[in-house]
Structure 1
Amino acid sequence: MTAAPTLPTVSIVVPAYNEEQTIRSCVEAALAQTVAAHEVIVVDNRSTDRTAEIVRELQTSNPDAPLRLLRQFDEQGLVPTRNLGLDSATGEVIGRIDADSVLEPTWVAEVQKAFVDPTVAAATGPVLYYDMPLRRFGLRADDTLRRAMLRLAREYHFVFGSNMALRATAWQAIRDEVCRDEEDLFHEDIDISVHLYDAGLKAVYVPTMVTGMSARRVEESPRDYVSYVGRFDRTYTHHDVRNRALRAPAWVFLAVYPIAKGLRWGHQELAARRADAAAD
């Protein structure tokens, strides 16, 4: 009789800067998994709001939870904050999500299943925009887009910063190679993807590894949004990656911006009206 495979331990790292509006939901979802995470690490990067205070409140109300709060106050920026969290994690696999990510309850279990395969170095999955209408339809659309990108990119697989996991040994292999990006010009998750690929490390797409995230990005001005989308091209150009198919997501993001902005505005208006009605 074949023994059941040993499931790896999973740490979850959450870089955070002034995220008092979202950090509670993010951490609560990370703690409310069907299979418990080895640890949940929030790395506070010079927050001036209640981000750290809320995490400490959650530590007090969940005294047995493996919830850690770290401070990265040496410099402002996502990359050094992310790096401290990944370096501090003690799990065999390190999940990395954003402070507005709300993990589906089975996320840790699905990550464990993906990493039973010893050849898998990294994994990523689709997202559900929880503050938009037609959320489940949006999840299917996101999944469809990512599958199409995998077919176009062939052997190159990218990982998505709001929903990704790395084997700890893979992180150590690329730790000194990832870009510091002091000028904040790149997509740090694309940068990780490039370095994983260059190191010959396998990244996989796991459609059941689902997280919710906010669509708040579409609230930005058109100019700021275009600059954000431009990070795709700047990152690939910096690394001399010439596969034109990998630039397709940038065009998709630009195309859906006006539609998504309208849907989000309508969703917020409806929510406000319902709140006013409930208060009357």
Structure 2
Amino acid sequence: MLPTLSIVIPAYNEEKVIEKCLLSCVTQKELADEIIVVDNNSSDATAKIVRRLQRLHPEAHIRLLKETEQGLIPARNHGFRAAKGEIMGRIDADSKLGDDWVYTVRRTFAKKSIAAATGPVAYHDMPMPKVGLAFDKRIRQALYNSAKDHTFLFGSNMAIRKTAWLQIQELVHRDEDDLLHEDIDIALSLFRKNLHVVYDQHMVGGMSARRLEDKPRDFYNYVMRFERTFQAHDISSANARIPIFIYLMIYFPIRTLRKFYDGDTNKFTLSKLREDIREIAERI
């Protein structure tokens, strides 16, 4: 018998992306047992959009929860506590799941020895997402194969067995200063407990590349979360630094490309560049 599955989505002011995310969940080849959106004090229309989709898709069992303690980790933990499924899928509000994501996750976790799983992503608001997915698959497979003294999960596209989470929930960091990668923190906690994490190339998710629009200093600080998370677990690994190198290498080329591409319309445009020029002119 296949395991039950809850999808958990922390959300803070995600009115621009939450509808597309939820529609990718409710149009699955095989529906999850429930979808949990944890509203983390949103001041925009996030909750309103979720409630509308609850009415439109009662068959999807969408639940809207409220977490008043600000932060991704409190919101995630609230969702995990509330989840009724044996497996908890953890995605971001800007994720767009492949049509057979639920189908794949359930069958991956049919093997009882698997504690957590992650997969590749397509960047749905970038040109040529299939090319990006092929590249992403190769990179993540290589990282998984080379990881001998650690393991990894990808927060935009991961799932964890609830019994495994209960074993590590006291090991993961509260990260009140918001310095770590919470997905890597989970992965390293699982590794410390000798719990099996797998990379499944068929577990395809989609995510936004909006992070690459961050200013260079902000993006560098974000990428260095890898290093800080490994340090928090007292792990020193050369392979652990590979993602840092990759992200920094692609940052400027992809950021430049995004200046000429509108992910909402999937068309090339000069509007973002004009906005940047206008902002610079206002500062002069």
TM-score when normalising by structure 2: 0.92
Aligned equivalent of 1:259: 253
**Cα distance per residue 1:67-88 (max 9 Å; x no partner):** 0000001x11000100000111
Change (3 A) 1:34 1:155: farther
In structure 2, distance between residues paired with 1:77 and 1:61 = 29
C-alpha separation in 2, matches of 1:118 and 1:65: 26
Aligned equivalent of 1:98, options 76, 92, 103:
92
Tell me how far apart the structure 1 counterparts of residues 95 and 24 of structure 2 sit (CA, whole Å): 9
Does 1:149 pair with 2:143?
yes
Q: For 1:271, which of 246, 267, 270 is the aligned residue?
A: 267
55, 67, 73: which one aligns with 2:62: 67
Query: If the length of structure 1 is used for normalisation, what is the TM-score?
Result: 0.93
Aligned-partner Cα distance in 2 for 1:12–1:161: 12
Q: Which residue matches 1:196? A: 190
SS at match of 1:150: helix
Amino acid at match of 2:24: A
Identical amino acids, percent of aligned pairs: 48
Are the equivalent residues in 1 in contact too, given 2:124–2:208 (CA < 8 A)?
Answer: yes
Q: Deviations 1:225-261 (Å, cap 9, x if unpaired)?
A: 0000010111111111112101110110000001111
Deviation at 1:266, TM superposition (A): 2.1
Amino acid at match of 2:34: E
Q: What is the CA distance between 1:272 and its match in structure 2?
A: 6.2
The alignment yields a C-alpha RMSD, in angstroms, of 1.5
Separation in structure 2 between the aligned mates of residue 197 and residue 274 of structure 1, nearest angstrom? 46
Map 1:106-121 onto structure 2 (within 5 A).
106-121=100-115
Segments of structure 2 that go 5 or more residues without pairing to the other structure are: 272-284
Q: Which residue, 124, 127, 130 being the options, matches 2:121?
A: 127
8 Å Cα contact 1:150/1:156 also seen in 2: no
**Matching of residues 236-255 of structure 1 within 5 Å:** 236-255=230-249
Distance 2:3 2:49 in 1: 29
In the aligned structure 2, how far is the partner of 1:149 from the partner of 1:65?
34
Distance, in Å, in 2 between the alignment partners of 1:114 and 1:189 is 19
- Within 2, Cα distance between the matches of 1:231 and 1:157? 15
Residue type at the aligned position of 2:125: D
User: Is residue 187 of structure 2 the alignment partner of residue 224 of structure 1?
Assistant: no
Instruction: Give the distance between the partners of 1:135 and 1:273, measured in 2 at CA.
Output: 17
Asked whether the 8 Å contact 1:34–1:109 carries over to 2, the reply is yes
* Alpha-carbon spacing, 1:152–1:64, altered in 2? closer, same or farther (3 Å): closer
Gaps of 5+ in 1: 1-5, 276-280
